[in-house]
Amino acid sequence: MKKRILAYLSYVDGIIAKEKKDKNQNLDLVIERHLVQIAFFAHERFIHLVVTVLFALGTLLSIFTFLATGQASILALIVMLLVLLVPYVMHYYLLENGVQKMYTQYDELLKLQYEKDGKKLELEKGKYEVFTVEG
């Protein structure tokens, strides 16, 4: 999944760079496909969030059980859960940042589409056109 998300982010960055240079991409199709990929990766992110939280809760429960009972055998369970929890957190971090980057790419694609169509980027009150964050 890591290879796939990083490759996809790079692919879309390439499309954006090419569009800024050539202005000959079919942005409607690119935007449509990008929204599908956002949905896929956002779903993957949600599943990994659930798994990560469950592993974290299991680890905490094991720690509390060890503290309450003092059984040394529970330490092995704690170590195993931590060994699994760390990579899950790292993978979730990648997914979260990747999906956030996709949102930024989507906004950039919308901006390029509006510019290509010769439309002014004016935001009407209560209507979402192109969202940008300053700073």
9-66 pLDDT, tens digit per residue, is: 999 999 999 998 988 888 889 999 999 999 999 999 999 999 999 999 999 999 999 9
User: Nearest 5 degrees, angle CA 47-CA 88-CA 83?
Assistant: 140
CA 50/CA 63 separation, integer angstroms: 20
- For residue 128, the model assigns a pLDDT of 45
- For residue 120, the model assigns a pLDDT of 53
Find, among 12, 15, 17, 3, the residue nearest to 38 by Cα: 12
What is the mean pLDDT of the segment spanning 62-81?
94
User: Nearest 5 degrees, angle CA 72-CA 78-CA 80?
Assistant: 115
The model's pLDDT over 112-129, given as tens digits with 9 standing for 90+, comes to 888 877 665 554 444 445
Output the six-digit token pair for 97: 């940042």
- For residue 54, the model assigns a pLDDT of 94
CA 119/CA 130 separation, integer angstroms: 12
Find, among 41, 43, 31, the residue nearest to 4 by Cα: 41
- For residue 111, the model assigns a pLDDT of 87
